[in-house]
Structure 1
Amino acid sequence: MKYCAFLRGVNVKGTNMKMADVCQVFKDAGMQDVGSVLASGNIVFISDKNAGDLKKILEKAMSDHFSYEAFLFIKSQEETEVFWNSIPFEKKDDLHIYAFVGNPGIENVLNAEFEAASKAENEKAEIVDEIFYWQIPKGNTLDSSFGKVLGKKSLKDQFTSRNINTFEKILKKMNS
């Protein structure tokens, strides 16, 4: 089955790694047809194992190789397509749209945090198909009240986020 591993915290805040090295770790862990999409830690691969087993195997392999506490989230090609096909907001040049990949139920935690946060003009959030989507004006992502919540240490092993354009690139790689 084709999967994408979404790594959390790669190439930010001092956790730097080359995607070629990450791909090699995946290959050494038994994954097939391994490739990366962008430098933000999106690894496309094939395996006959289930997502739960893959998460354990790959987090340990990444942690051991790079000497850091690795967190990643595994989605099948079909599940990854849902992230792209369920976007609730209209795409506009002046807005970013993010989708959050994480543990079951994280969408409700994120929604509660979003509801409690102060919001910029045109900042919205919505849950579709158990996926939390966030729209924010470009340039406001890191400065927004909700954006600051995303760095909470208590949530670091719960989710990661990607701009929706990244999902399009991942799906192109999965379909090639």
Structure 2
Amino acid sequence: MTTKYAALLRGINVGGKKVPMADLRTVLEGLGHGDVRTYLQSGQAVFVPDHGDEDSLAAEISQAIERHFGFGVDVLVRDHAYLKAVAEACPFPAADLAPKQLHVTYFSAPVTPERFAEIDQDAYLPEEFRLGDRALYLYVPEGLGRSKLAEHLAKPRITKGLIATSRNWNTVVKLVELTGD
């Protein structure tokens, strides 16, 4: 069985970092990866690698994007099994929530509760977060754009030394589907 991976690009197609998905597919195919597909314009691609592990694939893709587009982009690569496990471990009732209310932030390394100790979660209720395996689940009833908790979680002192990129629940579920074909 062939393992499919998802590349999650951080912070593209906002501001000045424009990465057309057709060009991203070309970059990935140029690296020798097969069955390349992109999803939406917000920076995710699914592919079958011909070499490497998650970290080396992420570094290779990031370098190729910089060569092709002239700017750096942080990239995380995760396989189907991991993406599926994250979706299945969601501590919130995903089926009962609107997709804009639930998000997953994927991290480049495991995170510990100590990293988030300064955050008084009660001060942000009804917004909440829970930690998972290299992931943070975020419930924001009014959506991410209005979330004070999300704003606080994105502060450099919280994410220092990590690559972190968030996806709404629809995208989380779709990436599981796309990598599971």
Relative to the length of structure 2, the TM-score reads 0.83
Q: 1:154-176: per-residue Cα shift (whole Å, max 9, x none)? A: 64852101112212111222233
The residue aligned with 1:101 is 106
C-alpha change, 1:26 and 1:94, in structure 2 (3 Å) is closer
Give the AA of the match of 2:23: D
Q: Contact 1:36 / 1:43 at 8 angstroms: preserved in 2?
A: yes
The residue aligned with 1:132 is 136
C-alpha change, 1:94 and 1:151, in structure 2 (3 Å) is closer
C-alpha change, 1:158 and 1:113, in structure 2 (3 Å) is farther
Q: What is the deviation of 1:83?
A: 1.7
Q: 1:44-85: per-residue Cα shift (whole Å, max 9, x none)? A: 001132112111111100111111121010101111111211
Q: What is the deviation of 1:16?
A: 1.8
**Residue of structure 2 aligned with 1:18, choices 17, 20, 24:** 20
C-alpha change, 1:113 and 1:29, in structure 2 (3 Å) is farther
Question: Is 2:168 the counterpart of 1:163?
Answer: yes
Q: What is the deviation of 1:129?
A: 3.6
User: Which moved further from structure 2: 70-79 or 11-20?
Assistant: 11-20
Q: Contact 2:9 / 2:43 at 8 angstroms: preserved in 1?
A: yes
C-alpha change, 1:98 and 1:43, in structure 2 (3 Å) is same
C-alpha change, 1:94 and 1:24, in structure 2 (3 Å) is closer
Question: Is 2:92 the counterpart of 1:89?
Answer: yes
**Residue of structure 2 aligned with 1:143, choices 143, 146, 170:** 146
* Percentage of identical aligned residues: 26
Q: Contact 2:6 / 2:78 at 8 angstroms: preserved in 1?
A: yes
C-alpha change, 1:94 and 1:76, in structure 2 (3 Å) is closer
User: Which moved further from structure 2: 141-150 or 38-47?
Assistant: 141-150
Displacement over 6 Å in runs of 4+: none
Q: Gaps spanning 5+ residues in structure 1: where? A: none
The residue aligned with 1:59 is 62
Q: Contact 1:113 / 1:149 at 8 angstroms: preserved in 2?
A: no
Q: Partners of 1:30 and 1:150 in 2: how far apart?
A: 36
> Number of residue pairs matched?
174
Q: What is the deviation of 1:37?
A: 1.3
Q: Contact 1:107 / 1:130 at 8 angstroms: preserved in 2?
A: no
Q: Partners of 1:113 and 1:65 in 2: how far apart?
A: 40
Q: Partners of 1:117 and 1:28 in 2: how far apart?
A: 49
Give the AA of the match of 1:41: G
Q: What is the deviation of 1:93?
A: 3.0
